[in-house]
Chain A
């Protein structure tokens, strides 16, 4: 008999879902917040003194699984060097018709020259536009990524490049989590560490959100975090929705 009643479980579940909030959003009108490590269009960054970070080593091109990067290095001119090293990348092209945004180039880069921004909403009408050259990829003199006419940048995104590098320790060692191991960027200085799993994470500044906090009503009962269960949980959720200035325990 119990087996027979489970037949109606599907009916109950679908009815319950009628009253639950939707998971999807009405996309072009309402855009969901991006995750801090979102992979988007690449950016070539510069040091705080304006020097380019790229040294033309072609490791990114070697790491690229779809061969979308083309780099050629050249010796720095002695009187006005472009990068602090011996060489600099004088040709740097990424073909976005091939790029799969896997970020292997970012991991391969020894100088953190190539990073990914979070901007992914860009489309082009011809092949030439799809191949980004160094002119388009390099940040401008304020350290802000260049905005091309067909790109849809959102508020504050320009300051969020290099998420992967600042997420945990780049070499993967837990002891280095949250420890700054990266160089400064033009216009921004040394950026803050993003959320890892350690105690000193700062979700508020870096914009990290855990999925179980974003969709608590879609979890199974046993998966709901302890601080969001019952009456106390409802109070906590209401507190979290309050604007920051009304909150007493603002961290």
Chain B
């Protein structure tokens, strides 16, 4: 048992005493508290930044620069009446928010926030857990949170949430494939699933970051796919106000709605942290030789990188209009999944031998040509000249059709 635990975390190598229990407990509590604090700040930051980008003022009433606005909103939500619709499936309806929040919390536990510390003769990693399956935990958790969204919409007993949950499940599943493929390239390059090892492999300068080492393509695919996975703008068709009222949480009120809100922003922070971990070397960065304070700098680097990505998400929301649902699906299945698959092949080829790499590039190019032709054919059969089913209701109608249908026989 202790051997198994030791392979997970050097802290647990020599059995579990009470000192170690306290250390683990403190790690968990600090992580939880920091994440919760970060979420309140993130909500405030998003509202403030987006109002600046729209030449508005934004929250301003509570605390300096309105920084306590989230607290006020949370308090308001807790004190509101908690409604369950009559047609709702009560058990599932009440369960769904927790299915979204708990995975959001758990995902953060695998993110390495800093390097290692030495406390009372023990080596402490500045991450809550370092399970051997590492990054797979993140995929699993994002898979479970799909259930939360899906069940929330289904159990509401209302049509718009149902439509929204159908969209959510389709969207999240189709983007998870591209997401998984890019993670495969990272795992291939690192040779380990553990996030600690992934970060370790990237330490030693900016040229060792996966962002540059794997080519920029996996990074771009990952950012797009994770934005879709988060249901954040421009991929928030799940919550499209103009079409679906509030989306899957239309029927939710009070603290249950608050939990969805919390989970959404918690996921934004967590996924920013995951991007930093996977592609930007996590806490890696320049560390000045200051006695006793060397452990602080990796944390600062990590925070700086994460905040940058959090800002990027806000920026996306301000700058980009929402995708149409079919555009979203086209992008996921026709572009991101083939591209990420091809890139996995190329990276795998280069890891074995450069010659194999170039062969893979040739194969991928060939496949790209075939695929492009196939898509063109498909489009032509669906909507083009040799369409099997003619398009109905094209507007404006051609003049000949209009005349035939309106003019009297002469």
Binding site for B on A (CB under 8 A): 10-11, 13-15, 17-18, 20-26, 218
Q: Are B53 and A17 in contact (CB under 8 A)?
A: yes
Q: Are A10 and B320 in contact (CB under 8 A)?
A: yes
Q: Which among A11, A13, A26 has the highest number of chain B CB atoms within 10 Å? A: A11
B237-272 contact mask (Cβ, 8 Å, vs A): 1 or 0: 000000000000000000000000000000000000
With both beta carbons as reference points, the residue of chain A lying nearest to B50 in the complex is identified as A14
* Contacting residue for B56 out of A10, A11, A15, A22, CB 8 A: A22
Question: B24 contacts which chain A residues (CB < 8 A)?
Answer: none
Q: Are B319 and A20 in contact (CB under 8 A)?
A: no
Q: Are B318 and A23 in contact (CB under 8 A)?
A: no
Q: Are A25 and B57 in contact (CB under 8 A)?
A: yes
Given A10-B319, A10-B320, also A24-B56 (CB < 8 A):
yes
Q: Which among A14, A15, A17, A24 has the highest number of chain B CB atoms within 10 Å? A: A14
B386 proximal to A (CB < 8 A) = no
B2 proximal to A (CB < 8 A) = no
Count B interface residues, CB 8 Å.
Answer: 13
Question: B319 contacts which chain A residues (CB < 8 A)?
Answer: 10-11, 13-14
* Contacting residue for B57 out of A13, A20, A24, A218, CB 8 A: A24
CB proximity of B24 to chain A, nearest CB, Å: 42
Q: Are A26 and B57 in contact (CB under 8 A)?
A: yes
- Cα A23 to Cα B51 in complex, Å, equals 11
- Cα A13 to Cα B315 in complex, Å, equals 11
With both beta carbons as reference points, the residue of chain B lying nearest to A27 in the complex is identified as B57
Question: A22 contacts which chain B residues (CB < 8 A)?
Answer: 51-52, 55-57
CB proximity of A23 to chain B, nearest CB, Å: 5
With both beta carbons as reference points, the residue of chain B lying nearest to A10 in the complex is identified as B319
CB proximity of B11 to chain A, nearest CB, Å: 44
Q: Are B53 and A23 in contact (CB under 8 A)?
A: no
Q: Are A17 and B57 in contact (CB under 8 A)?
A: no
Q: Are A18 and B52 in contact (CB under 8 A)?
A: yes
Q: Are B54 and A17 in contact (CB under 8 A)?
A: yes
Question: A25 contacts which chain B residues (CB < 8 A)?
Answer: 57
Q: Are A23 and B55 in contact (CB under 8 A)?
A: yes
- Cα A56 to Cα B314 in complex, Å, equals 60
Given A10-B320, A26-B60, also A17-B315 (CB < 8 A):
no
25 contacts between A and B (CB under 8 A): A10-B318, A10-B319, A10-B320, A11-B315, A11-B319, A14-B53, A14-B315, A14-B318, A14-B319, A17-B53, A17-B54, A17-B55, A18-B49, A18-B53, A20-B55, A21-B55, A22-B52, A22-B55, A22-B56, A23-B56, A24-B56, A24-B57, A25-B57, A26-B60, A218-B55
Question: A10 contacts which chain B residues (CB < 8 A)?
Answer: 318-320
With both beta carbons as reference points, the residue of chain B lying nearest to A18 in the complex is identified as B52
Which residues 332-376 of B have a CB within 8 angstroms of A? none
Given A10-B320, A11-B315, A11-B319, also A17-B60 (CB < 8 A):
no
- Cα A147 to Cα B276 in complex, Å, equals 62
- Cα A148 to Cα B298 in complex, Å, equals 64
Question: A26 contacts which chain B residues (CB < 8 A)?
Answer: 57, 60
- Cα A174 to Cα B320 in complex, Å, equals 47
B44-84 contact mask (Cβ, 8 Å, vs A): 1 or 0: 00000101111111001000000000000000000000000
Question: B60 contacts which chain A residues (CB < 8 A)?
Answer: 26
With both beta carbons as reference points, the residue of chain B lying nearest to A215 in the complex is identified as B55
- Cα A100 to Cα B396 in complex, Å, equals 41
Question: A218 contacts which chain B residues (CB < 8 A)?
Answer: 55
CB proximity of B58 to chain A, nearest CB, Å: 9
